[in-house]
Structures are given as C-alpha cells and as structure tokens.
Amino acid sequence: MGKSVLKVQRLEAGEIKKLLKTNDAYIVGIRLYLVYLVALGHSSRKLSELHNISFKQITNWVHRFEQDGVEGLKDRKGRGRKSAMSHVQLNRIKELVLKETPANHGFQSEKWTGPLLVQWIKKEYGLEYQKAQIYNLLKKVGITFEKKSGLTIKV
C-alpha cells in the first residue's frame, strides 16, 4: 500500500496565496527566503520555475537586498500611474455624490451610478474613465458601491 498524500482542505491553494499577498511580513519573508536560496547557490531561473515567479523579479529582489537589506524587499510606495484627477477634483466628486442628485445635473436618475459618474466626469473635466475605474476613484475618497443600496460611505 502506498503512502497517503498530505492534503489541505481548509482553503484552496489560490485562497492561501491571497492570504500571503495581504500581509507585508509574509511578502517580505517570501522574498527574503528566495534571496536566501540564491545565496545558497540556487539558480534564479530554477527558483522562478519552482515558485512561478519571473527570474528577473528574483534578480531584482537580490539586487535590492544587496543595496538596502531587508528594507529593499518591501513594496515601495508611489509606484504605478498617477491619477489624472487632482485631490480637489476627487473631493468635488465626493461632495457631488454625497450632497447632490444626478437630476440636479440633467440626468434622469435620483441616485448616482458608475456610468452616470463616467458621463459627469467627462462633461465636467474632459476625462474618460471606464466604469471599473470610477469605483476605484470612489474608494479613494471613502465611498463604495453596493448593488442593493447604491453608493455608500465607508469609514
């Protein structure tokens, strides 16, 4: 009779991976472990295949560790595309959603929706957004969308 295979039943692998990505200490720990394996002589290409991470990313972590130590393995703030909207414009949208109705701006609706905000922003600021991007902008100012009740404030 063969040996039984150890299985995890509490969560699926994808859900466990999400947990790892939500904690900065875990993220840094995984990166540090990969740097450790490189220090032991393991190939970054072999590690990339084994851990499903690009070898270039592993190489970047090694270089950042060499330059800045463990601090170099932490995610850096301010990366990514800068918002096309200013803080003043974002605050205006928050005020709009909280204190005004779409009907006040020529729309035939009493509640703001993502598509209505897309239209309002294009008309007001000349900026084009996709519906999904609007919800990200709203989240920045503390407003989330719930299907049943519409836009709500989350503190």
Tokens of 39: 């220090």
Q: For the chain, count helices (H), then strands (E).
A: 7, 2
pLDDT at 148 over 70: no
Report the distance separating Cα 86 and Cα 89, nearest Å.
Answer: 5
Q: What is the pLDDT of residues 26-49, one digit of tens each?
A: 999 999 999 999 999 999 999 999
Q: What is the pLDDT of residues 66-96, one digit of tens each?
A: 999 999 999 887 666 777 888 899 999 999 9
Q: Tally Cβ neighbours within 10 Å of residue 65.
A: 20
111-126 mean pLDDT = 91
pLDDT at 138 over 90: no
Please tell me which residue, 22 or 63, carries the higher pLDDT value: 63
* pLDDT band at residue 124 using 50, 70 and 90 as cut-offs: very high
* pLDDT band at residue 155 using 50, 70 and 90 as cut-offs: very low
SS3 82: coil
Residues 6+ away with beta carbon under 8 Å from 134? 114, 117, 118, 121
